[in-house]
Amino acid sequence: MITARDMALGAGARPPYAPPPAALYAPAYSLAPAAVAAMPFRERLLLVVLYVAVLASSVAVIEPSPHDALMGVLAVTCIVAGVRFDRRLTLLFLFLLIWNVSGLMSLLNVVGAEKTIQYAATSFYLAVAALIWACLFAENTLMRLTVLSKAYILTAVIGALAGTLGYFHAFPRAHDWFAHDDRALGMFKDPNVYGPFLIWPTLVITERMLTYRIAFGDLVAAAVLLLALLVAFSRGAWFHFAVSGMVLVALCFLTAQTAKARFRIFRMSVISIVLLAGLVVVLLSIPAIGSMFSERARLIQSYDVGEGGRFRLQELALQDVLKYPNGMGPFGFASTQANQQHNVYLQGFLVYGWTGGMAYILLVCSTLLVGFRTVFVHTPWQPYVIATYAAFVGEVAEGFIIDSDHWRHFFLLLGIIWGTMVATAKYVRGHQGAQPVR
């Protein structure tokens, strides 16, 4: 159990890079009532609003979603609770600002076009959300991340159950509500967004099973999430999970403090891979899943090739990037080619122009660098940083085959990485003479 004293940054004489005790990972399992009770009322209110806002994030079938409305409430609560902007977040702010200003300027290319203002407004909202997350997790980091993970895991499991029940026609109209074209989508509009949404909580659970202990509840939650991920039949999400899973295992192994811990991670990874492979084989024996998997698992689909295929569209998009330094504006490329190019980095240049596109790439690259530096510092919240960084790397890789610039959970990961960077810098500064892991 983590006490209020343990929750404080810099509390105690233990260096941040010493082998962490087992209790260090307890926040992944409990909220330490004593620590919560010792907090001021406004901080407890903030934790409640945070929990409710994240809990609503699996409902994305309408826009604006309930989560979007609650983000406004969370922003006001952050002000009331005294959440501050740290100067270390200036670079994040500048990249997001340049990205959005460039997007606003690109609207001149699509004056009067439908939904373009809404598109630009969504970009602005998500940038603000990323800054809110970053500021939020820069302080009282362990407790706030614990609340976030509990709410996210719960809502992801609920969404996963809905999608799976819909896929299997578990009750009347379940398929109409929670699945589409024989693909689970839960309470999302698109299975290609629903799938990646499930990955961060899956990684959080996997990380603590690899490094801490295996709890029955975690096994059930992981099974539900993995089944939902499979029946979403999103090739991008599968690729994302594979990349993120490999990064997660590698980071857990590299950050382990003892040979015994590294052996546990290796052993548990092998067992997990075998069990996962066995589960997939069993599920593929179900005709409905097996046939759909065979169709979706092909590396090249019919819509990838040909004159109107994904690869040809990306080739045309690259040509248009060179022709339009100020961008084509929202949906500008789709209006000329009747489809999107399915590459978020080309999207950055096509919609936001050269300046906005470069700002987006620098935003991604700087986040990868900041996260990589943070992930090797042994702080109480390091397990969350490992899972978040692994999920972010997978999402960055998936961006080459899908447009993810308006995914809410992408900006959540962005905010967590920058916020924990600030918190880690404060933590290290409070422990003089500590040396980082080499």
Does the pLDDT value for residue 300 go beyond 70? Answer: no
Name the 3-class secondary structure at 428: helix
State residue 67's pLDDT score. 96
List pLDDT tens digits, range 130-186: 999 999 999 999 999 999 999 999 999 999 999 999 999 999 999 999 998 889 999
| Token pair in block for residue 10 | 């810099």
State residue 433's pLDDT score. 43
Where helices occur in 256-343 by DSSP H, the ranges are 259-284, 287-296, 310-323, 332-337
List pLDDT tens digits, range 336-365: 776 778 889 999 999 999 999 999 999 999
| Mean pLDDT of all residues in 395-399 | 96
**CA torsion angle for 95, 97, 100, 102 (degrees, to 10)?**
-80
> Which range has the worst mean pLDDT, 76-80, 330-334, 410-414?
330-334
| Token pair in block for residue 126 | 């998500």
- Residues listed for the chain: 438
Q: What is the per-residue burial (b if ≥16 Cβ within 10 Å, else e) of 304-335?
A: beeeebbebbbebbeebbeebeebbbbbbbee
Please write down the HEC assignment for all residues of 221-253: HHHHHHHHHHHCCCHHHHHHHHHHHHHHHHHHH
User: Please, are residues 367 and 421 in contact by the beta-carbon 8 Å criterion?
Assistant: no
Residue bearing tokens 């990306």: 314
**Taking Cα atoms as reference points, which of 323, 436, 414, 407 lies closest to residue 67?**
407
State residue 332's pLDDT score. 82
State residue 26's pLDDT score. 42
Q: At what angle do helices 344-375 and 382-398 cross, to 10 degrees?
A: 160
> Which range has the worst mean pLDDT, 15-19, 371-375, 376-380, 409-413?
15-19
| Mean pLDDT of all residues in 272-287 | 87
**Within a 10 A sphere around the Cβ of 253, how many other Cβ atoms?**
17
Q: Is the pTM of this model over 0.85?
A: yes
State residue 306's pLDDT score. 55
**Taking Cα atoms as reference points, which of 229, 159, 155 lies closest to residue 196?**
229
Q: What are phi and psi of 183, to 5 degrees?
A: -135, 130
pLDDT band at 396 (very low <50, low <70, confident <90, very high): very high
